[in-house]
Structure 1
Amino acid sequence: MCSGIEHGSCRVSDDGRLVWAHVVLGPEEDWQECRVVLDARDGRELARLPLDGAASGSHHMSHPDGLHMGLCVGMGQDGILLHWARRDGEELTGRDLDESSDRILMDVHPGHPGFLTVEHHGADLTLHALDGTVLAEGVPEPSDEEDPPRWDHSCGFVDADTVIASTVESDEDPDRPLHWMLDARTLRVRDAVVYPTGRVRGHVRPLGDGTWLTYDDGSGTLDRWTVATASA
């Protein structure tokens, strides 16, 4: 890739009209990371917004309001940039989440006003308003172990009322639950997920429609679950 970035990212807007991209522009000796909006029909550049930082990678996420597009940029030892932007006429306007927060953008849901992030080291999950205001914080269930449990980078909205998340250390301890259901408004843990097939390892991928996916590396099995098929 170009100097200063290992890989960028792009996403087509939900209405199919725009392509949002995180790219490096300019000559190698004077490059600039930017957010760029293109016309999805002909690739014509419509707007551009410079960014500060040197990315190692990024991902985009559409906001359900149809106007804003989120961008999460990993910058290695320099932390994480979380940036929301919208196109106002011919201009692109945006704002960063608090630069000191070091948070990863995880999920949004059309039936919920906030967006979900996880602290880079898994200390907590946080629900934010679009302007970055913290609406709720959730921490893993305490344990008797010396090292407190941490959230994995695998979480999101099962539906507008429920968040599912997994804890890192639980994957190594067969006696502890791995996946947890949280209240989507308060991020308080409701209960551990108990699967009828026994312990289910691996990450969760919530789909927002009341279901979620799990993938078992050992067996290569991909399963789709609902609250009815996995009691919580």
Structure 2
Amino acid sequence: MSVRARLHATLPALMSSPQAGPPELAGLPGRRTLVQRSDEEIAAQPLDDAFAALPAAEVRFPAPWPRDRGTWEVAPDTSLAVFAGVHAVRAVEPSGATRWEVRHGCWHGACREMHASYEEYAEDRGHRYPDGGSVGFSADGALVWAHVRGPLPEGELSPDTVDEWLVIDAVSGRVLARGNAEAAAAGSEHLPHPTDPRRMGLGIGEGQDGAPLRLGSWDGERLDVTYVEGDLCLMSVSPSGERLMTVSHDQDALSVRDFRGLLLEGLEWDAESVLPRHPDAPSADEDDEDEALACWDWAGGFVDETTLVVSTVECDDEWGEVRHWLLDTTGTHGLRQIAYPSPPSGQPTALGNGAWATASESGDALHVWVADSR
């Protein structure tokens, strides 16, 4: 059974530079922004509810270091960009002025220096491929959550702490709270609770070693961290904020959980059990050296409160056309393959308002899709 995808909007990239990364959709429904990063700057274009560009609203933020030296996030109101670098988290205004900076330990594993600037290690070969953290704005933009390598200049959180999780005032840059992430990350990503600015999800990647999931709550004085059991990649938060979509580190299980990280009854799907074999893959009884393994991508999320968009690009790519799916968590429709007007490119991004996005084949645009109910 399949469901047809109807093209809702096409968003051209904001930059044509070969150094620029792909365009992305950031923010929550009602405050969407098309963003793109090059080595020199971030471009941010606010969008209306129909994904049309708001006139004369594009903002550019000069970048303090190249895009392969960290991650970044733009505030919901596009007034500020925060860069998570190798040695510091820096907030930059559209003018290029630094609003604030929080220095931390170096993300290059062999380095124990507390760098004062990017220029100190810019040409050092050992710092060319560092690990890294991430930042995320709360839903109201008042807080910046930052996953950093410790320690901070004021000292260690504890002797056994490697990575720290910070809550920062977005206006002043004051560190309001510090917590032990209990991880040694290669990378990470923040996903905010869409209705409660005090809560945040943090998915951490440790390469082959695992994928710790952390859920944070800030009450104005104290940071409480939930250390979710298992190795789970956090993919999405539902529009209500009460559900999480996760994919296991080995990609065999997709699940829906509450915001405490607890599995919701009946909402876990084993890839081998539910995914149909790719039509061009060898049949199970064929004597073929290449086994057609089923796996979920580390991608997708909530199209609405009860529907997920997911994909199997990684295991499909070897056999031919890649597949995207809509998964109805109520059980009414089950798992349905998405039928596009032409084969999709890459993995889908859930938008939470009944839509999802895919990149154009050339990477110069984003396509926004909805399920065709006709």
Measured against the shorter chain, the TM-score band is 0.7 to 0.9
Greater relative contact order (CA < 8 Å, ≥ 6 in sequence): 2
**Paired letter, 2:262:** T
Distance 1:94 1:147 in 2: 39
Aligned-pair identity (%): 36
1:180 equivalent in structure 2: 325
1:222 equivalent in structure 2: 366
Distance 1:177 1:92 in 2: 42
Distance 1:112 1:40 in 2: 22
**Paired letter, 1:223:** H
**Paired letter, 1:202:** G
Distance 1:68 1:188 in 2: 32
Matches within 5 A, 1:133-172: 133-135=262-264, 136-140=267-271, 141-143=275-277, 144-145=283-284, 146-167=291-312, 168-172=314-318
Q: 1:24–1:33: 8 Å Cα contact kept in structure 2?
A: yes
Gaps of 5+ in 2: 1-85, 87-105, 110-129, 278-282, 285-290
1:7 equivalent in structure 2: 132
1:102 equivalent in structure 2: 231
Q: CA RMSD in A?
A: 2.7
Question: Which of the numbers 30, 39, 59 marks the counterpart of 2:169?
Answer: 39
Q: 2:239–2:304: 8 Å Cα contact kept in structure 1?
A: no
What is the Cα deviation at residue 18 of structure 1?
Answer: 0.9
What is the Cα deviation at residue 120 of structure 1?
Answer: 1.9
Question: Which of the numbers 260, 263, 274 marks the counterpart of 1:131?
Answer: 260
**Paired letter, 1:134:** L
What is the Cα deviation at residue 184 of structure 1?
Answer: 3.1
Gaps of 5+ in 1: none
Q: Whose strand fraction is larger, Structure 1's or Structure 2's?
A: 1
TM-score w.r.t. structure 2 length? Answer: 0.55
What is the Cα deviation at residue 38 of structure 1?
Answer: 1.1
Q: How many residues of Structure 1 are paired with residues of Structure 2 in the alignment?
A: 226
Considering only CA atoms, is the larger Rg found in Structure 1 or Structure 2? Answer: 2
Shift in CA distance, 189/172, structure 1 to aligned 2, threshold 3 Å: farther
Q: 1:80–1:103: 8 Å Cα contact kept in structure 2?
A: yes
Q: 2:139–2:195: 8 Å Cα contact kept in structure 1?
A: no
Q: 2:323–2:337: 8 Å Cα contact kept in structure 1?
A: yes
1:69 equivalent in structure 2: 200
1:21 equivalent in structure 2: 146
1:80 equivalent in structure 2: 211
What is the Cα deviation at residue 75 of structure 1?
Answer: 1.5
Distance 1:224 1:60 in 2: 23
TM-score w.r.t. structure 1 length? Answer: 0.86
Matches within 5 A, 1:196-211: 197-211=341-355
What is the Cα deviation at residue 8 of structure 1?
Answer: 1.1
Shift in CA distance, 187/214, structure 1 to aligned 2, threshold 3 Å: farther
Q: 2:203–2:233: 8 Å Cα contact kept in structure 1?
A: yes
Shift in CA distance, 173/189, structure 1 to aligned 2, threshold 3 Å: farther
Distance 1:17 1:123 in 2: 37
What is the Cα deviation at residue 53 of structure 1?
Answer: 2.4
What is the Cα deviation at residue 188 of structure 1?
Answer: 7.6
**Paired letter, 2:131:** E
Distance 2:201 2:363 in 1: 35
**Paired letter, 1:64:** P
The more displaced of 124-133 and 30-39 is: 30-39
Distance 1:89 1:218 in 2: 45
